[in-house]
Structure 1
Amino acid sequence: MFKKYFLLLCLFSLAYSSYGQLITEQQDLKEITDEVNLSSPYHTTLTFFYNLEEANFHPDKAAETLNLKGVTSQNGDNLSVKLKQIFEGKGVIIRTSEIPNEQDYRDTTSGYDQIYYFDKSKLPGIFLEKVGSQWKFSAFTVGQINNLHKETYPFGTAKLLDLLPKIGNDEYLGFHLWQLVGLLVLIFVVFLSHLLFTFLVDRGLLYILKRFGYGYIGEHYLLPVARITSFYLIVLLLALFLPVLQLPTGIWAWIIVIINTLKPFLITVIFYKIVDVIAAYFSKLAERTESTLDDQLVPLIRKSLKAFVVIIGTLFVLKEGLNLDIIPFLTGLSIGGVAIALAAQDTIKNFFGSIMIFLDRPFQVGDWITSGDLDGTVEEVGFRSTRVRTFRNSVMYIPNGKVADATIDNHGLRQYRRFYSTITITYDTPPDLVEEFVKGLREIVLSHPNTRKDTFHVYFNNLSSYSLDIMFYIFFEVPTWAEELRCRHEVLIKIMKLANSLDVRFAFPTQTVHMETFPEKKSLSPEYDPDVKNYQAKLTQFMQQELRKKEN
């Protein structure tokens, strides 16, 4: 029950204060009609705007609120009208209840000077100051009126302020006839401009790009940018001509907020689309290079640029559209950035590690790398970590900070891939057949399209415990491990076909049991001739035979 009575009492007090304020303003207006009252910022403001209303148009009385130091009274009438148009064009709402009604008012934000600002953000150069015992618009403000008027109504649109009211002042739906006519004309001009710009872009620019072979780029990248640009031009037209219509301040103040918000927002969208155009250009350049790391770098650059555009665009929307002071926000970011940097040292280390990877290029996407326990193929290089597909088909994520400090063995950068094998054949293979078999192996190497021809080694190399060993040492000139496996397969198949065609048998570990003596059979143990000269003669005969073979 007490809460209900308290609420009713508050409502009654609010209503009474509002009613009292209304009675006070009516009494003050009654006094203004009799004489000019400049005793306080409140009375000066009331005098200025009341005498410039259509029903009570007395610019000479309004001019008395100006500090016309060095300005004639005739110019004062014109300046007072321009000053009111500046207030209306900037969308500054004057709430008389908030204006101080004190003769000795002092501004606490400017060193306690006897001045009063209406809106520092929109009109920093317009303020009242106490001159003697009277409050007037300062001489500085009066000196800025013409420049501010041109800034508010640029490109000669101020002339429309005199031409449009001549159409008629009859009111319809709370608007004057000239305002409605001007609004319809503006809508028509905006619609016509949009059609013209769309025609020039869709039919003109796109047609030219198709003729030069850039139709895909024009349709998927440049056309979206052009369409957003057309909307931005429409907003500029509205911002240029809407102030001329002198709409009610309450409505115009909201329209200004919308327009000022749309400007940076559309510019942000335009640059957001332009990032796609830049990324497409760099993608084309990346396709021309052999490295695949720059192909991975382009998406990262695109994402980073888009994030940067969104952040900067958001700041401008807050500053220009919502009229918020972003300096404290940026200051807070700088202070918080130090704390974040200390707390995220590993993240920053990984970020700079990724930069070093992109600059040094120790590997690229698709390379087979090894480093300690790391063994696999690089799939992706991000700003924080590198993703490697192991040969177990699992995925390893390694922080770029560790990758930048590690010793990387990049098998993918090999120009040649070595293949070493030992071909074993049986001991009963005749020496001449061994020679022919080795020659055939060399021909296989020379005839294969992916083998290195200037350096390879194929020799009868060893007599092992169960086989005659032929060293097969060659190099493949292939880019990937899969290609290397294919070439190995082809070469080994040809070796097997060569062995089959020459009746060469491959050896494998075996054991043979020899009987030292057996009835009616010669022993397997060699019988040595005690005469050494017989062996020397056989050796001389063998060497002579070999010499004749070389001469032939």
Structure 2
Amino acid sequence: MLKKCFLLVTLLIWISSHSFAQLISDNQDRYKPGSSVNLSSPYHTSLSFFYNLEEEHYQPENAAKTLDLSEIRDQNGQRLAVKLKQIFEGNGILIRTNEIPNEQNYADSTSTTEGNIYYFDKLKLPGILLQKTGDNWKFSAFTVSRIDELHSDTYPYGTAKLLNILPKIGNQEYLGLHLWQLVGLFILLLLVFLSHWIFTLLVDKFLLYIFQRYGYGKVGEDYILPVARVVSIYLIVVLLSLFIRVLQLPIEIWSWILIVLRTLKPFLITIIFYKLANVVAAYFTKLATKTESTLDDQLVPLMRKTLKAFVIIVGTLFILRDGLNLDIIPFLTGLSIGGVAIALAAQDTIKNFFGSVMIFIDRPFQVGDWITSGDIDGTVEEVGFRSTRIRTFRNSLMYVPNGKIADSILDNHGLRQYRRFYTTLTITYDTPPELVDEFVKGLREIVLAHPDTRKDGFHVYFNNLSSFSQDVMFYIFFEVSTWAEELRCKHEILIQIVKLANSIGVRFAFPTQTLHMESFPEKKTLVPDYDGGYEAKVTDFVQRELKRKGK
């Protein structure tokens, strides 16, 4: 596999090197090398510079004439010319001389600087430019003064020394490459595979062993290990981008390789932070389990989604800027202008988003609460950006837009401190008043004896005479947090009521009808007739009751 990759890269390099040679040869008829150098236009100056630094006709003294050395002490123009060419190659800037303007008085319309100036690439190398001085176009004095600095930035950490060491291996050509380039390519591939093996050993063995030793094996395997593997790949890409430019590969193939490497860096960093969002979410999830409130339980999923969306957006911008060398300022400006149109088209989405924000600020409910509002009736499972997921008592899922919830009147049963139980106990009319009174006292004792009832706020009274029964109001509260516990308490209370009624002979009434006949000859009227009249009977009853209570 390694051999096939090596041959493929070599073939591409050979093709690109010949295409670049053809590009130069296409312009030779317009430029005749000699002791003099043509500096009459940006085109001729560029062609003079690059032509005299090609291997077939290497004349660095002529290339040095294209540099403005008037403001530097080091007059070794040949060394600076070679370095400048290496800067172009190291940054993957492909110069097509036939596209450079061939006008003696050319002026860059996009430049704010006065004078005749030509930029090769404002994004990659804004400091390298041609400037007309008198009748000649040369690399400006500012550019020449920055050659050493730009060269160090292009070949950092001492890699520039390899530019002088590797060519000493040999300049024989094989498949369009010099011997030192082939040797350097082999060493680089070997270094990449060795680095991958070392990073894999450190990540999969050593790092996982450390987490397992301290009791975090599952955390390390599920969260840390995926991040560490991407980090190892990123380090390999950084290592590859540092040393591959030293090989001075043909600019056509190297420019594409450089784009891939520059794109991979922000792409891998985006993946790293995307996976780190899971690590952060797992940490806050663990903290949320230690608290009694369920608000943090619903904040963690929303925070994870927000972090991931933020990472993707920022990562995409860095990929466009650093990887593809695109100017993202006009893109951001376009977003700000188009944001108005997007906001108008997505009013409902924005309304739902701010509805979710208001839910977290006002906290009308938490995950696990039972809420009702119109057609909404169920238990809250999750609060998202756009909608809230509610599990109904039919076990179906209801997705309700957050904007609708924010504008609705909600009845949150989950926030109840007490759960009310109200019923009417109907007993038959033939139950004596004394027995009714004792039955009510027994009901109160049942409430006081139960461990989950509210002792300071209940009402048990004989309060109504209905068409078929004597009614006892039974109004109590349970101090429980869930519906299941409420049902359990109701069951226990009702069992005790039935046992009490059976033990003292109280019979529960149900709707009945009694037919009274007054037309029988043998039967007297049902209207009572008392000696002394009704008033004397009532007075006698009241006196007896007062006498009984006085005792």
TM-score (norm. length: structure 2): 0.86
Alignment partners' CA distance in 2, 1:228 and 1:394: 40
* Shift in alpha-carbon separation, 1:70–1:206, aligned structure 2, 3 A: same
In 2, Cα distance between equivalents of 1:223 and 1:302: 19
Question: Following the alignment from structure 1 to structure 2, what is the Cα–Cα distance between the partners of residues 155 and 521?
Answer: 125
Query: Conserved in 1, the CA contact under 8 Å of 2:462 and 2:471?
Result: yes
2:413 matched residue in structure 1 = 411
Give the corresponding residue for 1:58: 59
Tell me which residue corresponds to 1:80: 81
- Deviation for aligned residue 1:489: 2.6
Residues 140/538 of structure 1: CA separation in 2 closer, same or farther (3 Å cut) = closer
Secondary structure of the 1:33 match is coil
Which structure has the higher relative contact order (CA within 8 Å, separation 6+)?
2
Shift of 1:150: 0.7
CA drift at 1:177: 2.0
Deviation at 1:517, TM superposition (A): 9.9
Q: What is the rounded CA distance, in whole Å, between the counterparts of 2:530 and 2:30 in structure 1?
A: 147
1:46-105 deviation digits (Å, cap 9, x = unpaired) = 322233333443332222211111435752222112111111111111222222333333
Aligned equivalents of 1:321 and 1:402: distance in 2? 43
CA distances 1:437-489 after superposition (whole Å, capped 9, x unpaired): 33332333233333223322223333444333222111112223343233223
**What is the distance in 1 between the residues matched to 2:183 and 2:145?**
34
Partner residue in 1 for 2:360: 358
Once structures 1 and 2 are overlaid, which stretch shifts more, 167-176 or 287-296?
287-296
Unaligned runs of 5+ in 1: 1-19
Q: 1:527: how far off?
A: 5.6
Letter in 2 for 1:75: N
Match of 2:486 in 1: 484
The question of whether the paired residues in 2 share the 8 Å contact of 1:42 and 1:101 is answered with yes
Counterpart CA distance in 2 for 1:122 and 1:541 is 112
Task: Kindly indicate whether the alpha-carbon contact (under 8 Å) linking 1:63 and 1:73 is maintained by their aligned counterparts in 2.
Answer: no
Counterpart residue number, 1:283: 285
Shift of 1:495: 1.6
Secondary structure in 2 aligned to 1:109?
coil
The aligned residue for residue 385 of structure 2 is 383
Distance 1:547 1:193, change over 3 A: farther
Contact 2:39/2:45 (<8 A) preserved = yes
Aligned to 2:300: 298
Q: Tell which deviates more after alignment, 112-121 or 414-423.
A: 112-121
Contact in 1 for aligned 2:418/2:478 (Cα 8 Å): yes
Amino acid at match of 1:456: F
Compare 431-440 and 137-146 and name the one that shifted more: 431-440
SS at match of 1:32: coil
- Cα distance per residue 1:175-223 (max 9 Å; x no partner): 2222222222222333333333333333333223223332222211111
Residue deviations 1:362-412, cap 9 Å, x none? 123343334456544445433333455566777665443333233322222
Q: Which residue matches 2:38?
A: 37
RMSD, aligned CA: 3.2
1:509 aligned to 489, 511, 517, which one? 511
Q: Secondary structure at the match of 2:424?
A: strand
Q: Which moved more, 1:279-288 or 1:133-142?
A: 279-288
Q: Which stretches in structure 2 are left out of the alignment for 5+ residues?
A: 1-21
Task: Return the alpha-carbon distance in structure 1 between the equivalents of residues 264 and 165 of structure 2.
Answer: 29
Shifted more, 523-532 versus 274-283: the winner is 523-532
1:263 to partner: Cα distance: 0.8
Find the counterpart in structure 2 of residue 130 from structure 1: 132
Q: Who is 2:167 aligned against?
A: 165
Tell me the equivalent position of 1:175: 177
* Corresponding position of 2:142: 140
- Deviating more after overlay: 483-492 vs 528-537: 528-537
Partners of 1:157 and 1:241 within 8 A in 2: yes
Deviation of 1:526 (Å): 5.3
Change (3 A) 1:28 1:376: closer
Residue 10 of structure 1: aligned partner: none
One of 146, 149, 152 as aligned partner of 1:150: 152
1:256 lines up with 2:258 in the alignment: yes
Normalising by structure 1, we get a TM-score of 0.86
Return 539-548 or 515-524, whichever deviates more: 515-524
Structure-2 separation of matches of 1:264 and 1:312: 10
**For 1:483, what is the secondary structure of its paired residue?**
helix
Which segment drifts farther, 404-413 or 417-426?
404-413
